[in-house]
Amino acid sequence: MDQDKLNSQVIAGLPVALFVVDDTYRIIEFNPAAEKITGMKRQEVLGKSCSEILSSNLCEHHCPLRESVTTGQPCLGREAIIQTRTGKKIPIILFGQTVAASDSKSDGKTDRKMLYFIGIFWDATETKEHAAYKRNLLSLFTHDLKAPVMITGGFVNRLLEGKAGALNKKQISYLRIVQKELKRQEEYIQSFLHASRIESGQIELELQPCELDTLLQDIITGFKVQAALKGIDIALEIPHDLGETLLDKVHFSRVISNLLDNAIKYSQSETLVQVLGRMTEKHFLFEVRDQGPGISLQNQTHIFDHYYRPARHCCEQGCEQVTGTGLGLAAVKAIVEAHAGSVWLRSIPGKGCSFFVALPR
């Protein structure tokens, strides 16, 4: 069996959708699984732009193909929404890799020239439905935990108030510890319920006109002290007339605050954290960029998942334990998507990290 025939049989037999684009981002391969998901035949898509065929929500601002070309890193587990022939929008999970050739220039530098991009994806509808079921189950379970925690806290308070008789110092000390831990547990429960409600659409956003430059200035001012403790400077770079849009000021402040808090937390001392903003024809784009250790490719795949967070981050001074619930970025994603926006990241391990937020104008 010749090599070309073997390759075509392997591609045709793959249980996942596969597409290949050339250096002009036009489709040169489209296997049967891709035909089945999109409802489009191979012959009708060959030679056409991948953005025209897939109509992904990632195409306009954070195309994973172009990102892979720029960074030289593979695209791992990227979530996207594509449109089928009938106009139906379905969620997919995308993996891909750029194949490039190195071109040595006369000045000694080397450029990477894209030859083609190989992408595979699958319909994530069932995965999303299963994840939603698990979230709802966890939400119900967490809600049920709330009552006994509050009841226990109430009895502890009554004991500390002397309602059951006088207490000695050791008893009071122990009860204070119990009270503190119950308070911490209550905060965890509230945090999870809040994030879960946002993601499931149970919290209505209170949209109102908001001056974005003023909002960003206020948030950054609030973080100056925290950043100064590590010798970190925060720079805001936005157009003078960034303008206003409709958003929930409280929830969106939480988005930027969470990204800033993470940038400061994971950055080394004496570095810079930047907050950048700009406008496109249809969107406001925000970026929070740090000079920390970056995020590994493995962690990038799951970074917006509930409860997921790297156990440690490392810098020149060694490894440091980073505390948190793993709910912050999940809440960021949920809030942004509730505003009909999108959030994503770019990071090369060892070279910092950038989180991007796009909101419709």
CATH of domain 208-360: 3.30.565.10
pTM to 2 decimal places = 0.58
User: Which residue blocks in 104-168 are alpha helix, DSSP H?
Assistant: 125-160
**Axis crossing angle, helix 169-199 with helix 328-338, rounded to the nearest 10:** 30
pLDDT grade, residue 3 (50/70/90)? low
Q: Which residues of 45-70 are buried (b: 16+ CB within 10 A; e: fewer)?
A: beeeebeebbebbbbeebbbbebbbe
Residue in the structure block whose two tokens are 């319920």: 193
Q: Classify strands 233-237 and 244-247 as parallel, antiparallel or unpaired.
A: unpaired
**How far is it, in rounded angstroms, from Cα 105 to Cα 111?**
7
Cβ-proximal residues to 133 (8 Å cutoff; 6+ apart), any chain: none
Q: What is the mean pLDDT of the chain?
A: 82
With residues binned 3-state (H G I as helix, E B as strand, rest as coil), the percentages for the chain, rounded to 5, are 45, 30, 30
**DSSP code of 203?**
S
Q: What is the pLDDT of residues 349-361, one digit of tens each?
A: 888 899 999 988 8
CATH of domain 3-123: 3.30.450.20
And the tokens for 285? 């784009």
Cβ burial of 309 (10 Å; 0-12, 13-18, 19+) is buried
Q: What is the pLDDT of residues 161-186, one digit of tens each?
A: 998 889 999 999 999 999 888 888 88
- Average pLDDT of the segment spanning 50-58: 85
Residue length of the chain: 361
Give the model's pLDDT for residue 312.
39
Residue 254, number of CB atoms within 10 A of its CB: 18
Residue in the structure block whose two tokens are 């489009």: 40
Cβ-proximal residues to 308 (8 Å cutoff; 6+ apart), any chain: 299, 302, 326, 330
Q: If you average pLDDT over each of 167-171, 180-184, 307-311, 340-344, which comes out highest? A: 167-171
Q: Where are the beta strands (DSSP E) in the chain?
A: 17-22, 27-30, 75-83, 89-104, 110-123, 208-211, 233-237, 244-247, 272-279, 283-290, 312-315, 318-321, 342-347, 353-360
Residue 90, number of CB atoms within 10 A of its CB: 15
- Average pLDDT of the segment spanning 294-312: 69
**How far is it, in rounded angstroms, from Cα 177 to Cα 232?**
35
Q: Report whether 249 contacts 208 (CB < 8 A).
A: yes
Instruction: Give the DSSP H/E element, type plus range, for residue 214.
Output: helix 212-228
Q: Which of 96-110, 140-154, 308-322 has the lowest mean pLDDT?
A: 308-322
Beta partners for residue 234, in sequence order: 273
And the tokens for 123? 């319909």
